[in-house]
Structure 1
Amino acid sequence: MKPAFEFTSELTPWASKPSVHFLQVPPDVGVEIKDIPTPPRGFGAVAVEVTIGATTWKTSIFPNGSPADSFFLPVKAAVRRAEDLEAGDTADVTLQLL
């Protein structure tokens, strides 16, 4: 089984499309993720299972050019509603690589 990571991050709207929100994966976690072999996916995405509060779902994290070795995690509206999250809130995240 691939490793899991836990972190806390602030929910941020995407500047070019404010209806899309994401959490930044901390750079130290991003470095560890990049060291783990994963099947190739488009745009350098990495398949993950995410848990925030009582909500768990499968998605992908995507490389973020700044800072290097980091990723962003899109958080869909259904999760934000279920966990009562709004832009600027922080979320405790468990991220399991698939």
Structure 2
Amino acid sequence: MRVVFTGHVIEWRGPSPFYFATVPEEQSADIREVAVTATYGWGVIPVEARIGEMTFTTSLFPKNGGYLLPLRKAVRKPQGLSAGDDVAVEMTVRL
């Protein structure tokens, strides 16, 4: 399943700070439709994502009925992304 969206970069300040791109409601609803077949546990959804020229694999985290796309430092820094930015994402949910 291919998903394209623009998400807002947020910082989660837990014990170990991390950054995420929020998946908009419309795309989250589409992902929820295939979540049962895609998840490998705990509700996380494996994906291959592309931001700019960088492609990476990760898993979406469920949050308040939507999803968050983790953005590792190795992804954020080359793209110049920080909290508050909007980011264009192309993503494939791995079924």
Q: TM-score, normalised by structure 1?
A: 0.86
For structure 2, the 5+ residue unaligned runs are none
After the TM superposition, which segments of 4 or more aligned residues of structure 1 sit over 6 Å from their partners?
none
Higher helix fraction (1 or 2): 2
After TM superposition, the structure 1 = structure 2 runs for residues 1-98 of structure 1, keeping only pairs within 5 Å, are: 3-17=1-15, 19-36=17-34, 37-65=36-64, 68=65, 70-98=66-94
Distance apart, 1:21 and its partner CA: 0.2
Q: Which amino acid aligns with 1:90?
A: D
Q: In 2, are the aligned partners of 1:38 and 1:46 still within 8 Å (CA)?
A: no
- Deviations, residues 43-90 of structure 1 (Å, cap 9, x unaligned): 10111000000100010001112xx2x101110000001111111111
Unaligned runs of 5+ in 1: none
Number of aligned residue pairs = 93
Higher mean alpha-carbon deviation, 88-97 vs 38-47, is at 38-47
Aligned-pair identity (%) = 31
Residues 88/54 of structure 1: CA separation in 2 closer, same or farther (3 Å cut): same
**Aligned 8 A contact 2:39 2:46 in 1:** no
Give the superposed CA RMSD.
1.5
